[in-house]
């Protein structure tokens, strides 16, 4: 799990005081394994939960972890999105992407790609040529962040957030590392610029250590385990790999790494301002009403969300 880290966490700023009420654990649920795109396995992190439970998020896929043999790595070929933002955070391996708005690039280890689909675009998300040829380990996360009705048809936008741009913090005991990708933790802010106010961070906690972090009381709060074992909340509820904890109201979030663990506890912390609007999803389109979904399908079919390079080249050949 390379992500981005430091040799000596004690050189980093601390996350800050977590005063007030520690949020209680509302539920711990387990992800299920499914195939996505052209056939790459993901853990579907919000399995069993409704949209109201995960507001303002829509989907959390843990990509891998797995090791591809040379020549076998798969991705997601050209497909559309409308009505939300996708956030792709890569821990191991890489993802190469292109979109019909001119965006594209390589998301390498520790990097984040933030794509506002807004009114719609087409994109592909594939292993790089090197990753396909050589194979290797792949581990990452894709999070879908909903947009409020007023912003669903905004212009598409793309942000490349390099691993080195992340705000790195440490725990009170100066041994854990917290990578702040977007939003605020206490006095600190991450580089991601989001339409919907959220906080997203990846923490690495050595065995037996605790993270006690201030959390905006107006935000939802969740923790998803990317590796290792530990507990959540002051009630020390056990949680392990591919499990998600949802927290209730309060001012702080607490997670602890198991004392007898042989590997660090890797936790994604996420939450945001709930949007509290109706959610109607049809695959890659997430809107507020059925009529808007019908419109999205029509706009996709008539090329209003863009045309893939292959389709565009076909037009030229036919011309
Ligand atoms: Mn996609």
Domain residue spans in the chain? 9-302
Q: Which two tokens stand for residue 29?
A: 């649920």
Q: What is the pLDDT of residue 103?
A: 83
Cα–Cα distances in Å, from 92 out to 28, 63, 67? 26, 10, 10
Distance 206 CA to ligand 1 centre (A): 33
d(CA 107, ligand 1 centre) in Å? 14
Whether 244 contacts 46, CB under 8 Å: yes
d(CA 215, CA 251): 5
How many Å separate Cα 134 from the centre of its chain? Answer: 26
Average pLDDT of the segment spanning 176-205 = 95
Separation of CA 124 and ligand 1 centre (Å)? 7
**Would you state the structure tokens that stand for residue 266, as one six-digit string?**
């890797």
Distance of CA 269 from the midpoint of ligand 1 (Å): 22
| 86 CA to centre of ligand 1 in angstroms | 7
CATH superfamily assigned to domain 9-302:
Jelly Rolls (2.60.120.10)
CA separation for the pair 213, 148 (Å, rounded): 27
Give the H or E element holding residue 282: strand 280-282
Residue 172 alpha carbon to ligand 1 centre in Å: 37
The residue among 277, 269, 252 whose CA lies nearest residue 143 is: 269
Q: How confident is the model at residue 313 (pLDDT cuts 50, 70, 90)?
A: low
DSSP state of 82: B
Rounded to whole angstroms, the Cα distance separating 199 from 153 reads 23
Residue range 32-84, pLDDT digits in tens: 999 998 888 999 999 999 999 999 999 999 999 999 999 999 999 999 999 99
Alpha carbon 176 to its chain's center: 21
Q: What value does the mean pLDDT of the chain take?
A: 93
Query: Ligand 1 centre from 13 Cα, in Å?
Result: 35
pTM of the model: 0.95
With a cut of 90, say whether residue 7 has pLDDT above it: no
**Looking at residue 318, what is its pLDDT?**
45
The predicted-structure confidence for 285-299, as pLDDT tens digits, reads as follows 999 999 999 999 999
Question: Is residue 95 within 8 Å of residue 88, measured between CB atoms?
Answer: yes
Rounded to the nearest whole angstrom, what is the distance from the C-alpha of residue 53 to the centroid of ligand 1? 23
DSSP letter for 308, please: -
- Tokens read off for 200: 């997203």
Tell me how far the alpha carbon of residue 122 lies from the centroid of ligand 1, in angstroms.
8
Provide the residue count of the chain: 319
Residue 150: pLDDT band (50, 70, 90) is very high
> pLDDT above 90 covers what percent of the chain?
86
Q: How far is CA 109 from CA 22, 137, 290, 306, in A?
A: 33, 11, 38, 29
Distance 319 CA to ligand 1 centre (A): 30
Where does residue 260 rank: exposed (0-12), middle (13-18), buried (19+ CB within 10 A)? exposed
Contacts of 63 (CB under 8 A, 6+ apart): 36, 40, 42, 138, 139, 140, 141, 142
Q: What's CA 158's distance to the chain center, in Å?
A: 15
pLDDT tens readout for residues 217-267: 999 999 999 999 999 999 999 999 999 999 999 999 999 999 999 999 999
Distance 121 CA to ligand 1 centre (A): 10
Q: Is 207 in a helix, a strand, or coil?
A: coil
- CA dist 313 and 319 (Å) reads 10
Residue 119 Cα to ligand 1 midpoint, Å, equals 14
| CA 252 to ligand 1 centroid distance, Å | 33
- Which tens digit of pLDDT belongs to each residue from 102-139? 888 899 999 999 999 999 999 999 999 999 999 999 99
- Burial of residue 7 (CB within 10 Å: 0-12, 13-18, 19+) is exposed
Residue 1: pLDDT over 80: no
């Amino acid at each position: 799990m390379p992500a981005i880290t430091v040799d000596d966490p004690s050189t980093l700023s601390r996350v800050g005081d977590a005063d007030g009420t520690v949020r209680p654990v509302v539920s711990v649920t387990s992800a299920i394994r499914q195939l996505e795109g052209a056939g790459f396995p993901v853990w579907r992190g919000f399995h069993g939960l409704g949209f109201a439970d995960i507001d303002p998020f829509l989907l959390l896929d843990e990509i891998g972890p797995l090791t591809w043999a040379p020549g076998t790595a798969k991705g997601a070929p050209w497909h559309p999105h409308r009505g939300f933002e996708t956030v792709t955070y890569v821990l191991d391996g890489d993802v190469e992407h292109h979109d019909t708005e001119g965006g594209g690039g390589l998301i390498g280890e520790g990097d984040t790609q933030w794509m506002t689909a807004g009114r719609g675009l087409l994109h592909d998300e594939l292993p790089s040529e090197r990753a396909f040829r050589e194979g290797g380990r792949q581990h990452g996360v894709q999070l879908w962040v909903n947009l409020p009705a007023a912003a669903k048809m905004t212009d598409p936008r793309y942000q490349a957030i390099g691993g080195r741009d992340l705000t790195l913090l440490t725990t009170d005991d100066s041994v854990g590392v917290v990578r702040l990708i977007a939003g605020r933790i206490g006095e600190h802010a991450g580089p991601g610029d989001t339409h919907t106010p959220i906080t997203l961070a990846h923490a690495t906690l050595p065995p037996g250590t605790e993270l006690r972090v201030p959390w905006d009381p107006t935000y939802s709060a969740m923790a998803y385990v990317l590796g290792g074992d530990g507990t959540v909340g002051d009630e020390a509820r056990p949680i392990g790999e591919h499990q998600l904890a949802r927290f209730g109201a309060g001012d702080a979030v607490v997670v602890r790494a198991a004392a007898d663990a042989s590997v660090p506890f890797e936790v994604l912390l996420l939450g945001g301002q709930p949007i509290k609007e109706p959610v109607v999803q049809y695959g890659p389109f997430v809107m507020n009403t059925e009529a808007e979904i019908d419109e999205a399908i029509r706009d996709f079919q008539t090329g209003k969300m863009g045309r893939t390079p292959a389709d565009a080249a076909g037009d030229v050949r036919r011309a």
